[in-house]
Structure 1
């Protein structure tokens, strides 16, 4: 049985207590329409949240995503998400990026491969994104990324 968690900017969470809040990495918002840095909350969702974005605790659902994990201590997921807040650029420098924004996470998922993609997934079994009324699941199967559409 997998556990399902929602990841979204804290100001969008409309219900449910946050299990953890990640404060802004630099202590301030950077960027324009898409902040590179803002407070992000993680909330526990009903397991059906993996297949139905109407159960997500924030609106609009396009700003945030869900993750599913096999039963593990929540601290492992929290530490993994903390590491995801930074990526290394081609020069090896750590850069803050909008890790909570589905548009940028999808770019990373579709661009990375091999060990970089495995490191991005870490303990996460799948990433789920709202696409209209459906949920689009990104799942690692072996060393390949599979994208599945789940109708609501």
Structure 2
């Protein structure tokens, strides 16, 4: 299988699981996290997340998708970007993608959609976040069968790739 880069809302993709760019306490936030909580059903998702939190940056956990089309939500925590700790942030971001993919495989998920983790309010430079995600996902797909989407929703994909 291959990685497909798309410019669309991950909640509109017909996949088995979506990845929530979560915070360590797995509580409702803004951006894609807030949308996932809203569309999945806040109360059910909040209760499920309370049982699993807190988690560390780079880790991932899975919950039911509740009211979403997608059967599962994988909650992955990326780093809050700090250019003084660039290499550590890059490793944590790569770990968030890798651990999400491992969790998907363990749960027999055949298709999954990712946002650009940490590229929103966590301040990770979008181009760097894109290439870390792409590289990590492609490496996983070298040895594993899965349909993976990476959404650049709302971001200029050409500037990410070329700029």
Q: Please classify the TM superposition score into its range, dividing by the shorter chain length.
A: 0.3 to 0.5
- Decide which structure has greater strand share: 1
Whichever structure has more helix as a proportion of its residues is: 2
Compute the TM-score of the two structures, normalised by the length of structure 1.
0.34
Q: With structure 2 as the length reference, what TM-score do the two structures score?
A: 0.32
Q: State the structure with bigger RCO (CA 8 A, min sep 6), 1 or 2.
A: 2
